[in-house]
């Protein structure tokens, strides 16, 4: 790994690193916030944040104000990039496909399959790297925003023993039925919708046997809410299965980081509880 930057914040350290990924076969960048508790010689659990379309690790790091709450409750934050990047990596002129729009899946179609393996990167490679090089435990939770909310939910549903809890801001819960998901899944996974279902949270919830605690926040003034997001569909499926989730519909809030910053402490408290910190 190569350290790109290190900044003192709220008594801890926010650091950025690059490394050569075996999953994506590219150089990947991630950020990690290490809270002040590690200076006391203890290891801390990890909360992973998955960002949305067009973002890098820096959007959440600089806009959400999350480090102060990670410091308060004693957990590390890990913020990966949203896709592989580089001149050799396939891309598209649109903002919702290609670099910046990895959708946290393993692509199977050309030209995407060579590098777009963000599912393997998030689930396997990155946690092993973090746990090998930083003073953290193997306890972890995951959350995300929009495309990253989709990533967090489907990853947690498929790996219930890996994560203590999952939460999301304005997630794409049923990508197989909305424009963002249809476009991305057709490109990355092909026309076979059985392959799509493996990355669709509503479909995964339908046959899930073990689900970790779930929290979702959705702004009612979010312009993407009616067509692209629709978290009530996820809530309805959970209720039919008798799976408790918490869905908060927030009057007046939109899709931006102003929304995330308003409720990020509540999400961190939620995860701190299930990570055994409260």
Cβ atoms of residues 211 and 162 within 8 Å: no
| Active-site residue flag, 222 | yes
Catalytic: which of 146, 165, 167, 201?
Answer: 146
Closest by Cα among 55, 274, 90 to 64: 55
Q: Are strands 214-219 and 136-145 parallel, antiparallel or unpaired?
A: unpaired
Q: Which of 145, 200, 222, 271 is catalytic?
A: 222
Active site residue 81: no
Active-site choice (150, 255, 267, 271): 255
Active site residue 255: yes
Report the candidate in 12, 10, 66 with the shortest Cα–Cα distance to residue 37.
Answer: 12
Active-site residue set: 146, 222, 255
């Amino acid at each position: 790994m190569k350290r790109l930057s290190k900044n003192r914040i709220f008594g801890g350290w926010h650091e950025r690193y690059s490394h050569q990924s075996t999953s994506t076969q590219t150089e990947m960048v991630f950020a990690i916030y290490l809270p002040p508790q590690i200076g006391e010689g203890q290891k801390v659990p990890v909360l992973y944040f998955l960002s949305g379309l067009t973002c890098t690790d820096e959007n959440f790091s600089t806009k959400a104000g999350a480090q102060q709450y990670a410091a308060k409750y004693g957990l590390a934050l890990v913020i990966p990039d949203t896709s592989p990047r580089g001149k050799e990596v396939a891309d598209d002129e649109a903002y919702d496909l290609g670099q910046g729009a990895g959708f946290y899946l393993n692509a199977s179609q050309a030209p995407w399959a060579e590098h777009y393996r963000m599912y393997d990167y998030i689930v396997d490679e990155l946690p092993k790297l973090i746990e090998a090089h930083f003073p953290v435990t193997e306890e972890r939770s995951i959350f995300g925003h929009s495309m990253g909310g989709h990533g967090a939910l489907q990853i947690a549903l498929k790996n219930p023993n890996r994560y203590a809890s999952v939460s999301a801001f304005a997630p794409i819960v049923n990508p197989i039925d909305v424009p963002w998901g249809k476009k991305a899944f057709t490109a990355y996974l092909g026309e076979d919708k059985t392959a799509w279902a493996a990355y669709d949270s509503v479909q995964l919830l339908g046959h899930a046997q073990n689900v970790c605690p779930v929290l979702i926040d959705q702004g009612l003034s979010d312009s993407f809410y009616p067509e692209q997001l629709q978290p009530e569909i996820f809530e309805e499926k959970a209720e039919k299965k008798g799976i408790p989730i918490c869905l908060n519909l927030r009057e007046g809030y939109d899709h931006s980081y102003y929304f995330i910053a308003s409720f990020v402490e509540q999400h961190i408290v939620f995860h701190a509880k299930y990570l055994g910190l409260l």
